[in-house]
Chains A and B, each alone.
Chain A
Amino acid sequence: MSIRTLRRHFRESGKSLARNGWMTFASISAVTVTLLLVGVFFVIMMNLNHIAENIQKDVEIRVHLDPAADDNNKDLIGQKIEQISAVDTVAFSPKEKELTNLIDEMGEDGKTFKLFEQDNPLNDVYVVKTKEPVDVVKTAKQIEKFQYVQNVKYGQGYVEKMFDVVEVARNIGIVLILGLLFTAMFLISNTIKITIIARRREIEIMRLVGATNSFIRWPFFLEGAWLGILGAIIPIAFIAAAYSYIYDFVSPRIQIKFVELLEFNPFIWQVSLILLLLGAVIGVWGSLMSVRKFLKI
């Protein structure tokens, strides 16, 4: 296709947008609302995911050893843990070190625990990290069955619940987003239908004088793409502005470990690109539906 033809297609698609005034407005509004919701939801989801990942990354299995175990037993357990395929790292922490850690963590109050240095009641511990956070529960249960393992701690219940919550939120989000995307697509498809009907005579003449099918279709695809892309502008601007504000406001005030927002750059650029592409795709897709149905060529 020559540049001249392409220019003509662009011009024609622009003319249609202007001519269909209100329908154009309605379609763009639908895309705007949809992408705004999709965008906000996406940003929240990604941040939740990010936080969950941070927490999950920090989940470790603490294997408390039976005090009756001798050094040989301890080495054996260490080796057996290392042999589990899901395990990433294993670190041995003797009970003396555990006590020092405890004393440090307790601060001033910890000094009383110094009394226990003579007769340490704590256990030796293996600190195990898995390659994937999801494998924590499974691996912990496996280790628990080893001989000379007194018990295993990994934040039982808490970890499982977090995985569940993230998953449910994700599924609800996906369903919601898909529904909205379809609504916007049908509105665009309807706008294109009106364009096609308005230009029926023009299309008829084009066919009679030998315009190729793709030549006839192009302006409609472009029009659909415009509707989608124009509809994406407001959501992108809004989300970028709002996120920048929220990020600056929230980030310095968060005290909780693990909880941090995704950085503005490159996250918002990625979101913008996704929204823009989504807009263009539903636009072209909606247009495709109408072109196939009403433009019998």
Chain B
Amino acid sequence: MIEMSEVSKIYPNGVSAINGITVKINKGEFVYVVGPSGAGKSTFIKMMYREEKPTTGSITVNGIQLSKLRNTKVPLFRRNLGVVFQDFKLLPTLTVFENVAFAMEVVEEHPKDIKKRVMEVLDLVGLKHKARMVPTELSGGEQQRVSIARSIVNSPQVVIADEPTGNLDPETSWEIMNILEEINNRGTTIVMATHNRDIVNNLKRRVIAIDNGRIVRDEQRGEYGYEY
């Protein structure tokens, strides 16, 4: 599903973010990516959806070799990925429904399909009854659920989440985790960068720990393992 081989990333300003990572994530896995701030987690994640290109090494996602992927083909590649962020990235002027529908509109789906599918995923994240509200009328947890709904509305094979619970209180974080777990149970691969020790230690999944741009630990049903 996702394969990295000897991947390094040096930013143009000379910062070396990733120093030779080789890793394989299989279909249907749920993976935590942990590590201190500035360890290279974000770069690691960004390279998966080709927001960043590796300086050396090769990455294959969904069978597509990213180093050979032309810029014009990136949009088509991204349609098989869902991305969730810490800050939700919702459009404040659109309603919940429109925010989710947006992802389908821009890939030119048929309006009929859009309506049906959007209500389906809103139901999955438990926000069907708030479809007409705008993001500012929702709590942080609800906004993140909308963002998750948007990321899965095009039925991607992989969902990449960059600290999805970073802005949320513990209780709300668990709501989000329940939804991600549900999505994972339906067969979608999930890669989640997180700082949330409580979640990693209680909902045990594969843990990839990154420090100084290297994988320092990779274990099934791992622990968070940091003091911060």
Contacts and interface: CB of A to CB of B under 8 A. Distances in A.
A98 B9 CA distance: 95
A211 B77 CA distance: 10
Contacts of A213: 72, 75
Query: Max chain B CB contacts within 10 Å: which of A202, A208, A209?
Result: A209
9 contacts: A205-B89, A207-B75, A209-B102, A211-B106, A211-B107, A212-B76, A213-B72, A213-B75, A215-B108
Interface of B: 49, 71-72, 75-79, 81, 83, 89, 91, 102-103, 105-108, 111, 150, 154
B66 to A, nearest CB: 15
A149 to B, nearest CB: 72
Nearest to A205: B89
A15 B150 CA distance: 23
Contacts of B102: 205-206, 209
Interface residues of A, number: 18
A209 B89 contact: no
Contacts of A212: 72, 75-76
Majority SS at the chain A contact face:
helix
A210 B106 contact: yes
B154 A209 contact: yes
A53 interface: no
A204 interface: yes
B174 to A, nearest CB: 26
Query: Max chain A CB contacts within 10 Å: which of B79, B102, B106, B150?
Result: B106
A4 interface: yes
Contact of B107 (A202, A205, A209): A209
Contact of B76 (A204, A207, A210): A210
Nearest to A202: B91
Contacts of A204: 89
Contacts of B72: 212-213
A143 B112 CA distance: 83
A114 interface: no
Contacts of B106: 206, 209-211, 215
B154 A210 contact: yes
B76 A209 contact: no
A8 B111 CA distance: 12
Contacts, number: 50
Contact of B105 (A8, A207, A208, A297): A8
A119 B1 CA distance: 113
Contacts of B75: 207, 210-213, 215
Given A210-B78, A212-B72, A297-B71, 12 more contacts: A201-B91, A205-B102, A209-B79, A210-B75, A210-B76, A210-B77, A210-B79, A211-B107, A212-B75, A212-B76, A213-B75, A215-B75
A211 B103 CA distance: 8
B18 to A, nearest CB: 21
A255 interface: no
Nearest to B92: A201
A5 B103 contact: no
Contacts of A215: 75, 106, 108
A72 interface: no
The 3 closest A-B pairs by CB, nearest first: A211-B106, A210-B79, A210-B78
A215 to B, nearest CB: 6
A2 interface: yes
A179 B81 CA distance: 48
A235 B139 CA distance: 52
A2 B108 contact: yes
Query: Max chain A CB contacts within 10 Å: which of B71, B76, B81, B103?
Result: B103
Contacts of B89: 201, 204-205, 208
Contact of B78 (A2, A201, A209): A209
A210 B77 CA distance: 7
B204 to A, nearest CB: 29
A241 to B, nearest CB: 42
A215 B109 CA distance: 13
Interface string A198-234: 0001101111111111010000000000000000000
A206 B72 CA distance: 14
A4 B111 contact: yes
A23 B212 CA distance: 48
B78 A208 contact: yes
